[in-house]
Structure formats: structure tokens, C-alpha cells
Amino acid sequence: MDIALDTFEVRTGGRCEMVDITAEVAGVVGKSGINDGECTVYCKHTTAAITINENADPDVVEDILLTLEKLIPKDLDGYRHIEGNSDSHVKSSLFGCSEQILVKEGVLLLGTWQGIYFCEFDGPRTRQVIVQVIG
């Protein structure tokens, strides 16, 4: 089994933001030289997430963030965590801190409208994303 591991940084600009990192992930896959296998995109933070969603209309990610904000308000009666970002932790677990994408002939097997997003839920911050390709 061949393994390639790489890390890159994402600088976010707002409290909640979805940043398209598809090109960075594809770059790691290409550099790995691995033709067939699996790519894992992993976020080392507990107030952020990785998700896959539409890459065509930028309104989609805005609507996703709006829905999350309405579902999980910043202040909920009963919150005890002193940092005031319990909502960010909930969003992180709901979307999940990693995604797996299949790799075929050196290319990510994404659907036509799928992009890979780093989801910031407690920014702005500088974040780390790990990408591992096995094959």
C-alpha cells in the first residue's frame, strides 16, 4: 500500500464560512502519484468541519450557513461552556471532521457539482487541513 500525507492551511475571514478546498486536495492527490485508492480530508479542529456540497452557485453555501445559524443559535438557554462557542462544536459534529473521496486514474471521483469545503464555525482563524491518499 502506498501512502501520501500532506497538510495545508486555510485562513478564514468570518465567524462562519465555507471555503472551497477542492483544488488543494486535488493537488495533493496529483502529487502523490497514486492512481487508484481513497483520499481522506481531515480537519484537526473541534469548531470546524469538512463537507462536500455544490460548487456551482455560491448561494448554496450561504443558504447552508444561514440554515445552520437558525437551527443552532449562538446562545441557547442552558449552555455552560464558558468560551461561548458551543454552537460551533455542535455544527462540527453535525457535519463531521472528515470526508473520504475515491480516487480513480489519479483523479478525485467527485460528482459534477461536488466541491470539497472547509467549514469554519468559529473564525476568523488560521486552520490546518490534513490530506491522506492511500492506494
Q: Does 32 bind a copy of itself (CB under 8 A)?
A: no
Q: By C-alpha distance, which of 56, 35, 42, 29 is closest to 115?
A: 56
Point out which span in 9-17, 22-30, 99-107 binds a copy of itself (CB under 8 A): 99-107
Residue range at the interface with a copy of itself (CB under 8 A); choices 8-16, 20-28, 79-87: 79-87
The strand ranges marked E within 76-125 are 98-104, 107-108, 114-120
Assess 12 for contact with a copy of itself (CB under 8 A): no
Q: Does the protein bind a copy of itself through residue 125 (CB under 8 A)? A: no
Residue 107 contacts a copy of itself per CB under 8 A: no
Length of the chain in terms of residues written: 135
The answer to whether 60 and 18 are in contact (CB under 8 A) is no
- Our CB check for a copy of itself shows the closer of 23 and 78 to be 78
The helix (H) or strand (E) run that includes residue 36 is none
| Residue 22 found at the interface with a copy of itself (CB under 8 A) | no
Per rule CB under 8 A, is residue 40 in the interface with a copy of itself? Answer: yes
Phi, psi torsion values for 77, nearest 5 degrees? -55, 120
Based on the shown chain and the rule CB under 8 A, indicate whether residue 105 belongs to the binding site for a copy of itself: no
